Structure 1
């Protein structure tokens, strides 16, 4: 499993994927908000989302997992 992680301390403003969704490398999967700035989170690899690790509105720390992606089957 590959994890897409938060780059900064922020609030999870919007989740754009759910468990089971296919994603391609570089697809936007979530939007974080910090100091009124929107920070996109993108999939590091293509595959299928196996777990969403956060909820909208949750505060995440730098390095926290946002989603897990199974890249073995591709997108």
Structure 2
């Protein structure tokens, strides 16, 4: 169906990238620096509720000029 429409899928090429959005919780500059280094900020260590609210592995990305915060969900073509 894709070939008939004039599209050619190649091996390993990303066909579609969608995003799984998560809630945005603002962080202070020092907290963000710690998270970017893979560490847990000291202010969060004694507050388990604070650690649950903050998603430390989600990132900002842009698609079609719109900013999204969350995770990328890719569909790839595995055909040769």
What is the TM-score with the length of structure 2 in the denominator?
Answer: 0.30
Larger Cα Rg: Structure 1 or Structure 2?
2
Bigger fraction of residues in strand: 1
Bigger fraction of residues in helix: 2
Bigger relative CO (Cα 8 Å, ≥ 6 apart): 2
What is the TM-score with the length of structure 1 in the denominator?
Answer: 0.31
